[in-house]
């Protein structure tokens, strides 16, 4: 049985797993994401490979940023600015004797859903991941659409106010960020914003706390509005919501209710109502999608 080292780079931790070619996780762990610079980053990645040297067929990665998924070149890298404009694929090839592949994290999550999750068998769809910002990926004709420069689905940058397109508050991440949701709840409830997190908010909302529910309802209204705008352009069958909060039934309930309200209010519109579901995979989605990218898109493995 062939095994693979799969890695998901985040802002605070690098998650890794030893995974079979059917995405069965055999072992997993995480290490802190280095902030010192590119050399320490490369050393960290290399040390993860050495942990499984001789046991894996390839090293596959999910990471933030605009990435050439064919070569592993990073045009941008999210919070890890020291990886910007870096041919990580070439640098890793110098350090490890097995193939290396990299894919954008939101696109990797979509590939996982397309392979074995909520997007399996779907012709057209989009995945929206909710966190500090908004990640996205588009599926057309049953395949991931990356765009002309690998930048499709960068939903955080969608402008919500065409009258003020250059203002930071105009970007959709301001409406869809979980951080902003928590700050709004803190303000409504008179709480210390530094002590409010998503877990606290949903615990309060699920217990019927009025202000937590009001903040969540307002958030879902904005998200549904954004989804409606995407639907005008994409006309997809299904929207899958990812990120930690997507496993909260109350979030999905409110988001679908708000989508229904918008569709009813826009009843003369030719825009169809997409199905809105939660992503199947949680924290392992990006690693699973990175494996899919390598096996089926780069290596051409038969499905």
Please name every residue paired with 214 in a beta bridge, in sequence order, or none if there are none.
none
pLDDT at 302 over 80: no
pLDDT at 268: 84
**Phi and psi dihedrals of 86, rounded to 5?**
-125, 130
Radius of gyration of the chain measured on its C-alpha atoms: 20
The three-state secondary structure class of 134 is strand
Averaged over 53-80, what is the pLDDT?
A: 94
Higher pLDDT, 62 or 244: 62
pLDDT, tens digit (0-9, with 9 covering 90-100), for 75-107? 999 889 999 999 999 999 999 999 999 999 999
H or E stretch covering 208: none
Whole-model pTM?
0.89
pLDDT at 161: 84
Give the pair of three-digit tokens for residue 104. Answer: 């954008």
Give the pair of three-digit tokens for residue 141. Answer: 């004709």
pLDDT at 163: 85
pLDDT at 10: 86
């Amino acid at each position: 049985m062939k095994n693979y080292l799969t890695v998901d780079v985040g802002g605070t931790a690098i998650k890794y797993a030893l995974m079979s070619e059917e995405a069965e996780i055999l072992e997993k762990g995480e290490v802190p994401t280095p902030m010192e610079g590119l050399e320490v980053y490369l050393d960290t990645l290399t040390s993860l490979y050495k942990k499984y040297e001789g046991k894996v067929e390839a090293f596959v990665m999910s990471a933030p940023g605009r990435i050439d998924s064919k070569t592993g070149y990073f045009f941008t890298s999210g919070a890890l600015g020291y990886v910007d404009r870096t041919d990580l694929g070439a640098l890793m090839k110098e350090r490890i004797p097995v193939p290396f592949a990299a894919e954008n994290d939101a696109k990797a999550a979509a590939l996982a859903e397309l392979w074995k999750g909520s997007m399996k068998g779907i012709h057209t769809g989009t995945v929206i991941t909710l966190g500090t910002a908004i990640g996205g990926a588009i599926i057309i004709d049953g395949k991931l659409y990356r765009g002309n420069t690998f930048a499709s689905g960068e939903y955080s940058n969608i402008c919500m106010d065409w009258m003020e397109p250059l203002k930071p508050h105009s970007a959709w991440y301001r409406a869809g960020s979980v951080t902003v949701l928590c700050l709004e709840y803190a303000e409504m409830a008179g709480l210390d914003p530094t002590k409010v997190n998503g877990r606290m908010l949903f615990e309060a909302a699920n217990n019927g706390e009025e202000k937590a529910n009001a903040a969540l309802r307002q958030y879902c209204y904005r998200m549904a509005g954004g989804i409606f705008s995407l639907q005008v352009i994409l006309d997809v069958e299904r929207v899958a919501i990812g990120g930690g909060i997507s496993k909260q039934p109350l979030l999905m309930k409110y988001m679908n209710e708000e989508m229904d309200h918008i569709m009813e209010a826009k009843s003369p519109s030719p825009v169809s109502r997409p199905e809105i579901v939660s992503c199947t995979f949680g924290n392992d989605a990006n690693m699973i999608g990175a494996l899919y990218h390598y096996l089926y898109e780069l290596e051409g493995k038969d499905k």
